[in-house]
Structure 1
Amino acid sequence: MKEVTAKGQTVEEAIQSALDQLQTSKDHTEVVVIDKGKKGLLGLFGGRPAVVKVTLMPDPIDEVKRYLQHICEQWGLEVGIESSQNGKDVLFDLQSEKAALLIGKRGKTLNSLQLLSQMVANHYSDQYINIILDVENYRTRRRETLIHLSERIANQVVKAKKEIRLEPMPSFERKIVHSTLAHHDQVKTYSDGFEPYRSIVISPK
């Protein structure tokens, strides 16, 4: 973390001097007032300047990028990373010639990286940030797969009149299944088990 100790005739002047040196705004810093200063007699004698220490706080999005780049380097992967933010949701789009290694079987590697990136982001943020990792539009393709799977399994449940348990999946994928079948008139869904082995059960109504 970068920090600057600055002086000024007032605390505000000292803070602004430090912000100018760090080339940032107050929102991204932590300010400690070392000395509030003192005005001299008639503005000339016995005065002393205000002194502050301003620390530049790490940016959560930059820290996630550094983390992902470090992990990929350890795996021997060259990766390009682009990020975009929409409110509390931050999407990281990863591009690599070895995308399959980043995704893993049924997205397990990507999901694990997403969970770890979530922890990194919120370690450096005072407000909750939701991290989403994607590789070559995998999330959209996985969503379509889950929708089709939900509908197919629901038909099997209706015919067999017997509940079916799906394989364990993360909460954001379970939500897709729940939403897909929420208004189905012959089946219902519920989650069962404990993370990371929590799964959805589709059963007859």
Structure 2
Amino acid sequence: MWEIEIMPKYKGDTLAAAIENGLTALQLDRKNAQIKILQQPQPGFWGLFKKPAQVEIKRQAVSNAQQATLPEQQPEGEAAQPVTQRPAATRPQTRFDKNYAVVHDLATYLQNVLDQLGITATLKVAMPTSKYVYIDCQTDKEGLLIGKHGRTINALQQLCEFYLNNHGVNYVEVTVDTADYRARRRVILSDLVRKTARDVQMSGQPVHLDAMPAAERKQVHSEIEVYDDLMTYSIGNDPNREVVVAPR
């Protein structure tokens, strides 16, 4: 499994303002920060096409002194043995390697989308297998990112799936999460399944649930399987595909 971290970008009318905005947001002193300049401010033409300065800032992990390493000492009486360099073995590029490259670009793409939405976030991306990607968005604007009834975060998740498909990475499940929303949603969904099952058993009529992502539909199908007198099926197309719970 590999992980990457995409840091938020900070903007300002000037480079100094962009850096100050980032330091303030992260509550850092400049001496404790690593600053990467992404874009110099551009005045544009008569106020048109003006672009702000952009920087990327993260906490300085270790000092330069700590980064220095001492040479390994040889035991007394033993001479250092020469090290023979062997050429690195080459191997063919695997599907995992190809997916890794596209997913890395996806993280940058999603970061840019969040910037356009006014959401400053640090993205932590994990890919435990070549068929699953988990993106955790760490932000103080969880409500804005999730949206009403999860519509925004679900739309972002589907956007990520479209991105992968358009870049030749197919049949890969993507989860976009923030503040453990997906775990909390699974609990809520389980309660909804139990209530819906009771309603269908009592009324004998099918119930249409609101449209939901594929992973949530799969959860509903799975949990209804324990009811011998009920069945489920899906109708519609994404993103409006919904689950129907019905009597057998």
TM-score normalised by L of structure 2:
0.57
Q: Could you list the runs of 5+ residues in structure 1 that have no partner in the other structure?
A: 1-19, 29-56
Change (3 A) 1:104 1:126: closer
- For 1:191, give the aligned amino acid: S
1:16-165 matches, within 5 Å, as 27=93, 59-87=101-129, 88-125=131-168, 128-165=171-208
- For 2:128, give the aligned amino acid: N
Q: Could you list the runs of 5+ residues in structure 2 that have no partner in the other structure?
A: 1-87
Q: CA deviation at 1:64?
A: 1.2
Q: CA deviation at 1:126?
A: 5.2
Instruction: Say whether 1:166 aligns with 2:209.
Output: yes
1:54-94 Cα offsets, whole Å, 9 max, x none, are xxx99212211111111111122210110111211010100
Q: Is the 8 A contact 1:103 1:110 kept in 2?
A: yes
Q: CA deviation at 1:125?
A: 4.6
- For 1:151, give the aligned amino acid: R
The alignment partner of 2:245 has SS state of strand
Structure 1 stretch displaced more, 70-79 or 121-130 = 121-130
Q: CA deviation at 1:188?
A: 1.4
| Structure 2: distance between partners of 1:26 and 1:82 | 28
| Structure 2: distance between partners of 1:186 and 1:26 | 52
- For 2:93, give the aligned amino acid: D
1:24-82 Cα offsets, whole Å, 9 max, x none, are x8739xxxxxxxxxxxxxxxxxxxxxxxxxxxx99212211111111111122210110
**Percentage identity across paired residues of the two chains:** 33
Instruction: State the match for 1:17 in structure 2.
Output: none
Which 4+ stretches in 1 moved above 4 angstroms? 125-128
Give the paired residue count: 156
- For 1:94, give the aligned amino acid: C
RMSD: 2.6
| Structure 1: distance between partners of 2:230 and 2:169 | 41
Instruction: State the match for 2:247 in structure 1.
Output: 204
